[in-house]
Amino acid sequence: MDTPSTNARLDQLTSSRGDLSNPAFQAFWLLRLGFVVAPIVFGLDKYLHVLVNWDKYLAHEFADLFNAKAHTLMNAVGAIEIIAGLVVAFRPRFGGYLVAAWLAGIIANLLLAAAHYDIALRDFGLLLAALSLARLASAFPIARHAERQG
Sequential pLDDT tens for the chain (150 residues): 555 565 555 555 555 556 788 899 999 999 999 999 999 999 999 999 899 888 888 888 888 888 888 888 899 999 999 999 999 999 999 999 999 999 999 998 889 888 889 989 999 999 999 999 999 999 987 544 444 444
| 46 in any annotated domain | yes
| 17 in any annotated domain | no
| 7 in any annotated domain | no
Helices 23-48 and 92-113: angle between axes, nearest 10 degrees:
50
> Whole domain around residue 117: which residue ranges?
33-149
Count of the separate structural domains present in the chain:
1
| 79 in any annotated domain | yes
pTM over 0.85: no
Segment holding 59, helix H or strand E: none
| 23 in any annotated domain | no
